[in-house]
Structures are given as structure tokens and as C-alpha cells.
Amino acid sequence: IRRDLAAARPDAFRPDLAGSLNNLSNRLDALGRREAALAAIDEAVSIRRDLAAARPDAFRPDLAASLNNLSGCLDALGRREAALAAIEEAVSIRRDLAAARPDAFLPNLATSFDVRGTVLRGLDRHGEAATSFADGLAAISALFLALPQAAEAVTRALVRGYLQSCEDAGIAPDQEMLAPIIAKLAEIGAKEAPEDGNT
């Protein structure tokens, strides 16, 4: 439907088409149909790149989101150098957005650092991966410590990736950075544990 609408009135409906293609890619990927997922997200990125070139303030956030998803699709297909290029572009955009509006965009930036770290791990670049996960933790830690429910999932993923990458790289984790985050995660875990001690 949105393809037909966009063909008739591209200025009005191409953004909606790109959004649906982005969602389609996610659903196809969840079903393991990765080549089809890649085709859909490629088209979404192409549309959103055009939109962002014309109206960057309105469409750069959407372009970054689709680049983030594109990187995940490429990584799942083993195309890790291409995945890295896509996520580097997403990180660059989201870094700019977060500098201007940190409350709105720091969680997205942290997510892109997580994806970047995962891609770098797949390339056996473990020291760089550890740095990417650490950058993500630096971006999200203040929000997580203040409002843990708003950033728990990405924070857990970043901590896990960081510790794994440090181990693989043979480097010591930054305990000063980790300490308040680990303490807050432990506090959350204690609150969520059953009162009778059963698991």
C-alpha cells in the first residue's frame, strides 16, 4: 500500500514506505530470512539517505536507525567489513545528534556502540571492541544510574560485551567505570528476585 502511495505522492509517502521497509526487514530477520531482510533494509536506507540529504534535521535520526539495522543484517550474513562501515556511519550521525540533544539521543548512540562492538568482535578486533562497548557505557551510564528502567537492557548488553572483549583482548576492565553500573545492576537483580528465594 505504501509503495503505491509513494509512487503517486513521493514527497508525502516515501518516509512511511521507508518505515515499513525497516519494520519488514526486522520481521524477516527474526524469521531467519536474512537475504530478504537485507534487501528490505537496503531499500529503507536508500530512501532515508535521500530524505536526510534534503531535510537532515527531520530524517537523520531515521537514517541512523536504518543504518544500525543494516549493520546487523550484514553482520548476520558474515559481511562484517560492510557491517562495520554501516555502523560507523550510524555512530557518526548519532554522536552529532546526541551532542545537540543528549536526553533524546544518548540511548540510541549507546545502542550503536553496542552494535559496533559486536561487529568488531566478529572481526577479532577485541581491543577496539572493548573501546566501543566502553564508549557505549560512558554514553549511557548517567541515564542508567538515574533511571535504570530506561536503559537497563542496553547497559547489560554493553557490560557483557565489554567484559568479554577485555578478556579476549587480554586487558584489564576499567573497574572504576564498572563499579557503579555493576552495583546498580545487582540492586535491580535483588529487587526482582523472588522473596521466597526460589528461582
pLDDT above 60: residue 197: no
pLDDT above 80: residue 193: no
This prediction's pTM: 0.92
Segment 115-174, tens digit of pLDDT: 999 999 999 999 999 999 999 999 999 999 999 998 999 999 999 999 999 999 999 999
In this structure, of 52-61, 80-89, 184-193, the range with the lowest mean pLDDT score is 184-193
The owner of cell 561487529 is 119
Integer CA distances (angstroms), 182 to 10, 69, 174, in order: 48, 28, 12
- 173 by Cβ neighbours in 10 Å (0-12 / 13-18 / 19+) ranks as middle
pLDDT of residue 34: 97
pLDDT of residue 195: 53
Segment 29-75, tens digit of pLDDT: 999 999 999 999 999 999 999 999 999 999 999 999 999 999 999 99
- The single-letter DSSP state of residue 52 is H
